Amino acid sequence: MKIVLDAGHGLQTAGKQTPDGEKEWTFNNTVLLAAQSKLKLYEKVELLRVDNSTGRTDIPLKIRTHHANNWKADVYLSFHHNANTGVWGDWGGVETYTFDGNGSNSKAEQLAKLIQPSLVRAMGLRDRGVRKKNLHVLRETKMPAVLIEGGFMDSRSDIEALRNRLRLKAQGEAIADAVIEYYRLKKKPSSATTLNTSRTFRLVTGVFLSKEEAVASADRLRKEHGWTVYVKEEF
């Protein structure tokens, strides 16, 4: 199961930003990373990212779709956020796009129909529906392709959700969930998935009334176990 992930644009792309100058790629990237972390937990999933993962360059659309076609991807997911006029307004909502013309459209449309309702729930924004548009990444890809517009960057109401990292994470996970459901992906055995490097756990051993005693205990733990131990003063 080869899945292409595409965060639209790059940090330098002119015009693709909120009226306050927050870049579209940053929102797209946060959603992509959440989808990627979730999809990684599933068996037989291979992921290929076709944008520049640092955002420094805006990879041309031709190169993005060329990579996807060359790799013989099974599905193409393009993450975007909308803008209407570029100045704050009262419009808003989320939408999922597909396009007729590459023979894979019925699959893309079924997938889009799974994505859209969970996208609405994840972002808590207006439902603008599943739509069709003649866009390069939808037209020039030889596999089912969907493009997600996760809210308007120049909407006074949507921007709250866009600035909320938990919402963007939920958006990415919602999109991943739709892919998981549509392609009936199976989760990897749990032993392989418990290694979660984004969380750490601190060992707390005790409270001492004198610094000397605390330092001596820390030394003992260091020597006996090779642990990293430090003494922190509390007030």
Q: How many residues bind Zn ion (CB under 5 A)?
A: 2
CB of 145 to Zn ion, least distance (A): 15
* 17: nearest Cα among 88, 93, 98: 88
Instruction: For the CB of residue 228, give the shortest distance to Zn ion in the complex, in Å.
Output: 44
Longest CA–CA separation in the chain, Å:
75
Taking CB atoms, the residue at the shortest distance from Zn ion is 80
Give Cα separations from 111 to 72, 77, 84, 145, 222 (angstroms): 18, 10, 26, 9, 54
Identify the helix (H) or strand (E) that includes residue 63. Answer: helix 61-70
Nearest to 186, CA basis, from 45, 72, 77, 49 = 45
Position among 23, 49, 80, 167 found at the interface with Zn ion (CB under 5 A): 80
Kindly tell me which of 35 and 185 has the beta carbon lying closer to Zn ion.
Answer: 35
Q: CB-wise, 10 or 144, nearer to Zn ion?
A: 10
Which CB, 8 or 144, lies closer to Zn ion?
A: 8
Q: Token pair of 207, please? A: 């409270």
Separation CA 202–CA 210 (nearest Å)? 22
Compute the distance between CA of residue 119 and CA of residue 94 in angstroms, rounded to an integer: 7
172 binds Zn ion (CB under 5 A): no
10 versus 42: smaller Cβ distance to Zn ion: 10
**DSSP-assigned letters across all residues of 161-177:** HHT-HHHHHHHHHHHHH
Region binding Zn ion by CB under 5 A among candidate stretches 30-38, 72-80, 108-116, 125-133:
72-80
The CA-based dihedral angle spanning residues 172, 174, 180, 181, taken in that order and rounded to the nearest 10 degrees: -160
CB of 134 to Zn ion, least distance (A): 15
Tell me how far, at minimum, the Cβ of 191 lies from Zn ion, in Å: 39
Binding mask 2-21 for Zn ion (x = CB under 5 A): ------x-------------
> Which is nearer to Zn ion, 38 or 80 (by Cβ)?
80
Stretch touching Zn ion by CB under 5 A, among 32-40, 75-83, 138-146, 197-205: 75-83
Cα–Cα nearest to 27, from 138, 111, 125, 140:
125
Q: How far is the CB of 82 from Zn ion (least distance, A)?
A: 7
Nearer to Zn ion, 80 or 169 (CB): 80
Q: Which positions lie near Zn ion, rule CB under 5 A?
A: 8, 80
